[in-house]
Amino acid sequence: MALRTVVTVGDERLRRQSQDVEKVTPEIQTLIADMIETMHANDGIGLAAVQVGELLNLIVVELPEDEEDPGSGQRYVVLNPQIQRASSDAEPGIEGCLSIPGYVGEVERATSVVVRGLGPDGKRLRLRAEGLLARVFQHEIDHTEGVLFIDRLVSPERIWAVPNGEEEKVEASQALPSKIGPH
In a domain, 135, yes or no: yes
In a domain, 4, yes or no: no
The pLDDT value recorded for residue 170 is 58
Helix H or strand E encompassing 31:
helix 26-41
In a domain, 3, yes or no: no
Q: What are phi and psi of 138, to 5 degrees?
A: -65, -45
Q: What are phi and psi of 21, to 5 degrees?
A: -85, 120
Among candidate residues 6, 17, 93, the one with its CA nearest the CA of residue 55? 17
CA distance 86 to 132: 14
Q: What is the domain extent for residue 26?
A: 12-180
- First-to-last C-alpha distance (Å) of the chain: 37
For each successive 10 residues of the chain (183 residues), what is the average pLDDT? 95 98 97 98 97 98 83 91 98 97 97 98 97 97 98 96 72 44 33
In a domain, 1, yes or no: no
Active site residues: 140
Strand partners, 77: 60
Q: How many residues make up the chain in this entry?
A: 183
Among candidate residues 145, 144, 135, 91, the one with its CA nearest the CA of residue 113? 135
In a domain, 71, yes or no: yes
Q: Give the number of domains in the chain.
A: 1
Q: Where residue 117 sits, what CATH number does that domain have?
A: 3.90.45.10
In a domain, 7, yes or no: no
